[in-house]
Amino acid sequence: MIQIALLGAGRIGKIHGRNAARHPRARLVSVSDAHLPSAEALAAETGAAIRPIEEAIAAPDVDAVLICTPTTTHADLIEKAARAGKAVFCEKPVDLSSARIRACLDVVGKTGRPLMIGFNRRFDPNFADLKRRIGEGAIGEIELLTVISRDPAPPPISYIETSGGLFRDMMIHDLDLARFLLGEDPVEVHAVASALVDPAIGRAGDVDTAAVLLKTASGRIAQISNSRRATYGYDQRIEVHGSKGMIRAHNVPRTTVEVATQAGFLADPVQDFFLERYAEAYRLEMTAFLDAIAAGTMPSPSGEDGLKAQILADAATESAQMGQTVRV
Amino acid sequence: MIQIALLGAGRIGKIHGRNAARHPRARLVSVSDAHLPSAEALAAETGAAIRPIEEAIAAPDVDAVLICTPTTTHADLIEKAARAGKAVFCEKPVDLSSARIRACLDVVGKTGRPLMIGFNRRFDPNFADLKRRIGEGAIGEIELLTVISRDPAPPPISYIETSGGLFRDMMIHDLDLARFLLGEDPVEVHAVASALVDPAIGRAGDVDTAAVLLKTASGRIAQISNSRRATYGYDQRIEVHGSKGMIRAHNVPRTTVEVATQAGFLADPVQDFFLERYAEAYRLEMTAFLDAIAAGTMPSPSGEDGLKAQILADAATESAQMGQTVRV
Amino acid sequence: MIQIALLGAGRIGKIHGRNAARHPRARLVSVSDAHLPSAEALAAETGAAIRPIEEAIAAPDVDAVLICTPTTTHADLIEKAARAGKAVFCEKPVDLSSARIRACLDVVGKTGRPLMIGFNRRFDPNFADLKRRIGEGAIGEIELLTVISRDPAPPPISYIETSGGLFRDMMIHDLDLARFLLGEDPVEVHAVASALVDPAIGRAGDVDTAAVLLKTASGRIAQISNSRRATYGYDQRIEVHGSKGMIRAHNVPRTTVEVATQAGFLADPVQDFFLERYAEAYRLEMTAFLDAIAAGTMPSPSGEDGLKAQILADAATESAQMGQTVRV
Amino acid sequence: MIQIALLGAGRIGKIHGRNAARHPRARLVSVSDAHLPSAEALAAETGAAIRPIEEAIAAPDVDAVLICTPTTTHADLIEKAARAGKAVFCEKPVDLSSARIRACLDVVGKTGRPLMIGFNRRFDPNFADLKRRIGEGAIGEIELLTVISRDPAPPPISYIETSGGLFRDMMIHDLDLARFLLGEDPVEVHAVASALVDPAIGRAGDVDTAAVLLKTASGRIAQISNSRRATYGYDQRIEVHGSKGMIRAHNVPRTTVEVATQAGFLADPVQDFFLERYAEAYRLEMTAFLDAIAAGTMPSPSGEDGLKAQILADAATESAQMGQTVRV
């Protein structure tokens, strides 16, 4: 049994904590959260102890740490946990600064401890199946990738203000998916962005509608588009065009029910929101982390993946702000 | 907490046992199975005790009994459990003889204990949503119902031989759905059936391909078709035509991935088989049973629902064999 | 050039007349219609002459006659035209009485002239492609056929009163399709029917909602359902289940546009009505007729096909009225 | 009747010539083509005369001229026809040089004669319906537009060499659609492009895979992607995301037939190629031209539309070559 300490029992912490607690290979030893009622509720539900963060990281009965605290604490906690000899799973992003991420990865590298970054979409069964089939040659060589990601509704302005901006907060998932699927790193980034959904987002210095063009060294092209609002649900699609064909993963509707009337054929909105849409992805992500620990291998996506997605997000932010192409 | 005894730890018993064990409102107290390794495996997994059936039914720490044993034992066990004052959930069918079902329901009726029959499809989120929307008037008055149900592959001949025949074993689910959706009992049954999938099924005196036409007193029409084999997965569809429109529940594909090549656009086969397709339905079915017990109300589908579906299955069997219409 | 005389310049006559006039292999010589303005309009448009029916049939410059007059005149006109040595295309049905059809086919048979009956759906590119692929083995052996046919709205009661009833007027198309696709004649007919759409249809002695079960000698099963009203357009679907798979032809939407909002994904209603849905089928049907004349072969569907569909429609009418199975 | 002269009887000339000849409001007076057999075949089919180009343009019995000759001749012929007092329809592009287009439009402007450019996709019933619904407010304010356009197979290298490059030859249609749908002119163009389909295209100095990001003054974003090869047919899709919802036009499949087997559900490839996919669009385009002439109004898309699309194509070409953003 792998003994787990959960740091942060908020929305995403609960997901990872429960998945770890239910996993046949793992035991959730402790829960830490500055907001005690959150920690208590999850501890009661899972049978875990409540411990202060520092104690949880240091505890000899802990093999692995799940970091689900606010972003600003990630890099420090990763370093502490790795130095304490723990395997580390950290929610994205490692940090809003690429320099800080680099420094953190250096520290982790010296410890040799495994570090996995929570790019959950790689584990979505639909996306994972799409990736698998591309690998099997279903569409030949990849030429053109399209990723569409639209949230149902924008987060509060208070969240926007400390988020690092749409590219680092939201599109980073799609940038990681692009790297994951292209099998190659982009070298050229063009981005455009606007605040069209809510002018308050613009006043907060951020954007809510954005698109990016990426080009790899071998000439593969990726286009990503994001919106902070989609009235029809959480829109999450991938389409890959290749030399032998095209493959895509459609959205997941709430039900398969369709009603036909004079107005036409009405199918359900798509699943809303990420806790529902990616519930299975979170379970499979935790399994991948635990499997890697058990096997003594390095988990994927790695800290390096976290860094590279961040560099692309930085480049996209700069490109959109400057209105010019950025090379990476 | 509702204390549960599971009788029968085979394929479907495991599903119900686990769902009961995981339910926040219930505790799985005991598991009984003549095949001891099955009972032991499930007991180990859930923390339940192993008890002989008679003891489990009589146990004072048991509030409710889940009957998942072979069909021939259902009626007897229902009677014993009801007489012992337990709430009873029984897998369909109650019995292959309508007369035996009637007698059993009389016994249960005298005890006043709740009895629920496992017509799981009523709890499928897609079908339940379709039913709800019909109730809200989405298609006006129901006029014409189509139910399509096709298994991925036929069961072994040994199973066929004791199954009571396709209408009682397989179509009974669709007959129950037809009653559930029509909101009215059919009074006229026309059936045709053939052994086209496997001649061995014909030699065993059964059929593998069948269709039924039902008509209610008010003139509503239902058509059901079944096949014991569908190469593309477990085909489960409903379509209801009404005065204001049409509503249907499509199949559930394995993934949302689609591949386009010279051959066209290839989408995934449908989920296969019932343990996967109806996993959520089984969970919701158990919740409905536990909710009814907690509320002190009679659960639905009731023993009477079990009887009426069986009467329709008998009528369809007779109609197909005689080549003539049967009134019920 | 094949010289054509059109008898009847109503709604369907105009279609066939125009298709003949535009066909590179044919010339529309004359138009006949008791309602002179109809004849004049079509003659002006196509450059054809206007002739009385008797004269048109007798005219030596006419090779083939298209009969699009009221049903009651079909059999007489077919006989006259065949005796006059013309090739004959006649809209369905030949007559509402199977006895009269038989007598008519005897007359035609003696003349040796080609007779084609207007079962237009066989020529729909989607249905024809489905049929072709079944022939190529796409689904193995046919086991179970489902035909769904729903009109957008019922015809006037005055039409209903002389139509011969839903089975002979509307379902006859589906019965012909069933024969066409099954590759075998049904021997057993079960039908149920109701007047649910409009009670006035019931008072006129007809039904508006109906379903039929057919069984062939080899055990293949077909189910057909009809409604005189579908709020979402002209619903025309076929699904065939076979030993190796299932094939279906979906409806044709008005456009491919889809709108997603909070309510869900709204696709267009289906094409409405037969003049639009089967425009291409009518063109291909005329081509098939002209090709057969040019090749000196007997066209298909033949008069015999017209008779056999009528016999099934008679049987369905009787089955629905008597509430019992009819053998044919 | 509007008297029409067709200049150029090649592939696209035949389409426009036939549509004009069949139009109730028009008469095809003459056909001109340096390749005499082409002119003769179309003249024979339509009853038009054959005339040398200069004579056709000067002829007093001609009201309007359809220019379907090679691109290099377009601007000259437009000027001559307008000076001769004719209404002019010209296939896109007016010229490969924006300067030449400007000069040409000046000449036409002084004559006051109507000029329409053949951006056929605006007339596709699906795209036109999408545009109409956006205008009716179906999705609120436009925020993000996605246009996907992929040809079934690349043209011959000889064509590529004189085509002006992918952006001016192929993407120009999508750039026009973007302007048409956005209701606003882009001010910023980012493009990336590669020769991935065929290295010979790269050696010819062109690309075969490309994507563009456009931004308008108000912040609306458009992304367009092109490939010269799609194994599954002629891929033509539009998706528009707005404040109240999303609207899209799907591809048009060859038939509505779908086959389900162990491999999954296989639907038809999409219609292939533009002569089939846009047959109805070409008819409606000719009708729009004739309607404008009859009404004495200026047709749309105008010469100005032709110029603006060309300017965007130039900008995209430059952006892709330089690897930097271009402002227009």
If asked whether residues D61 and D85 sit together in one domain, one would say yes
Q: How many CB pairs under 8 A join C and D?
A: 72
Q: Report CB contact under 8 Å: C246, D256.
A: no
pLDDT at A187: 98
The answer to whether B135 faces chain A, any CB pair under 8 Å, is no
Q: How many CB pairs under 8 A join A and D?
A: 120
- The β-bridge relationship of strands A142-150 and A186-194 is unpaired
Domain total in chain A: 2
What DSSP string runs through A173-229? HHHHHHHHHHTS-EEEEEEEEE--S-HHHHHTT--SEEEEEEEETT--EEEEEEES-
**Residue B209 to residue B98: CA distance in whole angstroms:** 23
C partners (3+ CB pairs within 8 A) are A, B, D
If asked whether residues C68 and C6 sit together in one domain, one would say yes
3-state secondary structure of D323: coil
pLDDT in tens, D222-243: 999 999 999 999 999 999 999 9
Give A269's contacts in chain C (Cβ within 8 Å).
260, 262-265
For B35, the domain range is 2-113
How far is C-alpha C236 from the geometric centre of its chain's CA atoms?
A: 13
pLDDT in tens, C52-62: 999 999 999 99
Whether residue A291 is contained in a domain is answered as: no
Whether residue D291 is contained in a domain is answered as: no
The answer to whether D11 faces chain C, any CB pair under 8 Å, is no
If asked whether residues D274 and D322 sit together in one domain, one would say yes
pLDDT at B54: 97
Contacts (Cβ under 8 Å, ≥6 apart) of A218: A184
- Candidates C69, C97, C38; CA nearest to C88 is C69
What DSSP string runs through B119-135? -GGGG-HHHHHHHHHHH
D50, D34 contact by CB (below 8 A): no
C238, C147 contact by CB (below 8 A): yes
The answer to whether D263 faces chain B, any CB pair under 8 Å, is yes
Give C262's contacts in chain A (Cβ within 8 Å).
231-232, 269
pLDDT at B306: 97
pLDDT at A157: 98
Name the residue facing D213 among A143, A213, A235 (closest C-beta): A213
What DSSP string runs through A219-277? --EEEEEEES--TTS-EEEEEEEESS-EEEE---BS-SEEEEETTEEEEPPBP-SHHHH
Q: Report CB contact under 8 Å: C231, B245.
A: yes
If asked whether residues A67 and A197 sit together in one domain, one would say no
B129-149 burial by CB neighbour count: b if 16+ within 10 A, else e?
Answer: bbbebbeeebbeebbbbbbbb
Split at pLDDT 50, 70, 90, the class of C151 is: very high
Split at pLDDT 50, 70, 90, the class of C9 is: very high
Residues of chain A with pLDDT under 70: none
Q: Report CB contact under 8 Å: D256, C139.
A: no
Q: Report CB contact under 8 Å: B209, C143.
A: yes
Residue position matching structure tokens 């002179």: C36
Across C108-123, average pLDDT = 98
Beta-carbon count within 10 A of C272 CB:
17
C262, A231 contact by CB (below 8 A): yes
pLDDT at C162: 93
Give D255's contacts in chain C (Cβ within 8 Å).
125-126, 129-130, 249
pLDDT at D246: 98
Whether residue C297 is contained in a domain is answered as: no
Give D251's contacts in chain C (Cβ within 8 Å).
256
**Residue B117 to residue B257: CA distance in whole angstroms:** 36
If asked whether residues D76 and D55 sit together in one domain, one would say yes
For C204, which DSSP code? T
Give B129's contacts in chain A (Cβ within 8 Å).
255, 257
Q: Given its phi and psi angles, is residue D280 left (phi above 0), alpha (psi -120 to 50 degrees) or beta?
A: alpha
If asked whether residues A127 and A235 sit together in one domain, one would say yes
Q: Report CB contact under 8 Å: B265, D231.
A: no
Q: Report CB contact under 8 Å: A247, B255.
A: no
ipTM: 0.96
From B51, B85, B113, give the residue that closes a domain: B113
Q: Report CB contact under 8 Å: D190, A210.
A: no
If asked whether residues A188 and A262 sit together in one domain, one would say yes
The answer to whether D76 faces chain B, any CB pair under 8 Å, is no
A126, A173 contact by CB (below 8 A): no
Contacts (Cβ under 8 Å, ≥6 apart) of D183: D142
If asked whether residues B257 and B161 sit together in one domain, one would say yes
Split at pLDDT 50, 70, 90, the class of B20 is: very high
- Candidates B221, B207, B234, B220; CA nearest to B148 is B234
If asked whether residues D266 and D163 sit together in one domain, one would say yes
pLDDT in tens, A132-182: 999 999 999 999 999 999 999 999 999 999 999 999 999 999 999 999 999
- Candidates A206, A192, A210; CA nearest to A159 is A206
C133, with CB counted inside 10 A (0-12, 13-18, 19+), is middle
Q: Report CB contact under 8 Å: D249, C255.
A: yes
Name the residue facing D324 among A197, A243, A325 (closest C-beta): A325
**Residue C4 to residue A227: CA distance in whole angstroms:** 62
Whether residue D295 is contained in a domain is answered as: no
Nearest residue of C to residue D250, measured between CA atoms: C256
If asked whether residues A93 and A138 sit together in one domain, one would say no
Across B287-295, average pLDDT = 97
pLDDT in tens, C79-90: 999 999 999 999
If asked whether residues D264 and D144 sit together in one domain, one would say yes
pLDDT at A82: 98
If asked whether residues B146 and B269 sit together in one domain, one would say yes
Q: Which strand ranges, in their side-by-side order, compose the sheet holding C2-7?
A: C49-50, C26-32, C2-7, C64-67, C87-91, C115-118
Residue B310, token pair as written in the block: 């069986």
**Residue C237 to residue C227: CA distance in whole angstroms:** 13
pLDDT at B76: 98
From C80, C113, C146, give the residue that closes a domain: C113
In Å, how far are A62, C174, C255 from A28, measured between CA atoms? 9, 63, 54
D117, D300 contact by CB (below 8 A): no
pLDDT in tens, C160-170: 999 999 999 99
Give B125's contacts in chain A (Cβ within 8 Å).
255
- Candidates A233, A21, A62; CA nearest to C265 is A233
The answer to whether B85 faces chain D, any CB pair under 8 Å, is no
For D210, which DSSP code? E
For B271, which DSSP code? P
pLDDT in tens, A240-260: 999 999 999 999 999 999 999
Whether residue B157 is contained in a domain is answered as: yes
pLDDT at A240: 98
Split at pLDDT 50, 70, 90, the class of D309 is: very high
Q: How many CB pairs under 8 A join B and C?
A: 120
Name the residue facing D196 among A143, A190, A325 (closest C-beta): A143
The answer to whether D244 faces chain C, any CB pair under 8 Å, is yes
Q: Point out which residues pair with B215 in neighbouring strands.
A: B188, B221
Q: Report CB contact under 8 Å: A248, B257.
A: yes
pLDDT in tens, B148-194: 999 999 999 999 999 999 999 999 999 999 999 999 999 999 999 99
Name the residue facing C139 among D130, D133, D259 (closest C-beta): D259
pLDDT in tens, C301-314: 999 999 999 999 99
CATH number at residue B33: 3.40.50.720
pLDDT at A252: 97
Residues 158-187 of chain C with CB under 8 A from chain B are none
For D268, which DSSP code? P
**Residue A93 to residue B238: CA distance in whole angstroms:** 45
Across B316-324, average pLDDT = 97
Please tell me the distance in Å from B273's CA to the nearest CA on chain A: 17
CATH number at residue A189: 3.30.360.10
Nearest residue of C to residue B235, measured between CA atoms: C246
Q: Report CB contact under 8 Å: C267, A264.
A: yes
Whether residue B218 is contained in a domain is answered as: yes
B118, B74 contact by CB (below 8 A): no
The answer to whether A267 faces chain C, any CB pair under 8 Å, is yes
From D113, D141, D168, give the residue that closes a domain: D113
The answer to whether B125 faces chain A, any CB pair under 8 Å, is yes
- Candidates C52, C14, C48; CA nearest to C29 is C48
B partners (3+ CB pairs within 8 A) are A, C, D
The answer to whether A41 faces chain B, any CB pair under 8 Å, is no
Please tell me the distance in Å from A249's CA to the nearest CA on chain C: 17
Q: Point out which residues pair with C116 in neighbouring strands.
A: C89
**Residue D315 to residue D324: CA distance in whole angstroms:** 10
The amino acid occupying position C203 is R
pLDDT at B313: 98
Across B12-19, average pLDDT = 97
Q: Given its phi and psi angles, is residue A146 left (phi above 0), alpha (psi -120 to 50 degrees) or beta?
A: beta
**Residue A52 to residue C177: CA distance in whole angstroms:** 74
Nearest residue of D to residue C266, measured between CA atoms: D247
- The β-bridge relationship of strands A235-242 and B142-150 is unpaired
Whether residue D151 is contained in a domain is answered as: yes
Give A232's contacts in chain D (Cβ within 8 Å).
245-246
Name the residue facing D227 among A143, A190, A230 (closest C-beta): A143
Q: For chain C, how far is it from start to end, CA to CA, in angstroms? A: 42
Average pLDDT in chain D: 97
Q: Where are the alpha helices (DSSP H) in chain D?
A: 11-22, 36-46, 53-58, 71-83, 98-111, 125-135, 157-161, 166-169, 171-182, 199-203, 274-277, 279-295, 303-322
pLDDT in tens, B63-97: 999 999 999 999 999 999 999 999 999 999 999 99
**Residue C282 to residue C92: CA distance in whole angstroms:** 13
Whether residue C219 is contained in a domain is answered as: yes
Give A262's contacts in chain C (Cβ within 8 Å).
231-232, 269
Across C102-114, average pLDDT = 98
How far is C-alpha B180 from the geometric centre of its chain's CA atoms?
A: 12
Q: Point out which residues pair with A210 in neighbouring strands.
A: A193, A226
